[in-house]
Structure 1
């Protein structure tokens, strides 16, 4: 186990990563993002599909909001500590956090997010970090960062715009509203749906279909299609960080830029 709240299981060519902190609805922290980045970097060549899922009744409730409190989360960098580094420190910190999401695009395996319950904020962005998304009919997605006076900054803005278009992405992020699984499917955010009771089986069927493709072709296809869709990805990540710096400083009473 690489992290106390991340369970990693491998069955032949399939590796399953389970966010495993159900009592906090799989809320995320910097140490979890570091573990996710390391997992993405270390997927062995014989693993062809990675499944990201959540334990309990939700995929992920997003960032652990205790990070915004004065006490923070024991053993984790708090938002206040991040902000004390000034613009350069915030930029470096968020760049490190982003690795837990963006590294999955570079992982040679096809990454499938299996979403049930809800995927909020960082949870939504982790689902967007996958190549494919399958969701239970009871799932819903929301970008709630704007309710905190912030913006999504974990690599999710680019994939969201690519999937649903600029105007719809703006509306989803600015309002922070819930996007139901049927709507997510209709707008292209989710590729397929299944009843909650059948989600594991449906995910298994999708994985089997991916594994039916010849391994070299599948391995070559992912970077080929991502390069066509992503454009200048590093520029978008830098824009996320720049947008967040002033907002984060203002939120914590520091100088706004």
Structure 2
């Protein structure tokens, strides 16, 4: 490392949401604090492993669908620790010329960002170290502006992210999403999933406390609250569903998981 480069504090003594998610997905980039928090979550919600897997599979299906529908620019906010196949693997598998910008605020994702930059020769990927609570900073980042043309449609991905943005009585999460939506032109899309307490309220209350004790606040949202994130945009079929029910590759897949196990709404919408 160059002596003038800043030292990155990986905060390995604190559980972090992206590393807990990595553990649930069977990844190896997690540490004792993350595994302890994950174990506590599994103690009150054993289906967390299933919920994480099917949420990841929703991202894969939505990305593939959008790439096959003609989208060539993708902005993935709250990327998380690289877990193949990543979004660019899926998008460029269908459209080799696709361009992808990843963003995350976890310093350990930055440390592994090289895995997110393995683009096809025809396409391009970039990484922005940023927080979704500063959408303006994301939209004006040089790495983003060098990679994406914001005058052309962009597929925005907010996968299992906005439940980590509490409103604090001022509709904060929706304001952030509206800022991102407003910056994108007609034909852009929003693919989003979001945890809910609609089906297992007591387990979700306990999970919220576990994350809160680890320093990460959660706000689960109801179906009507989730639906508001798509105001002004046209929901694509099948509309708002549970994560495993959105265009499953095999219809039988949607019958093997209960709504309480999924615990996550999902939808894709297009800007008119």
TM range (shorter): under 0.3
TM normalised by structure 1 equals 0.28
Greater share of helix residues, 1 or 2? 1
TM normalised by structure 2 equals 0.27
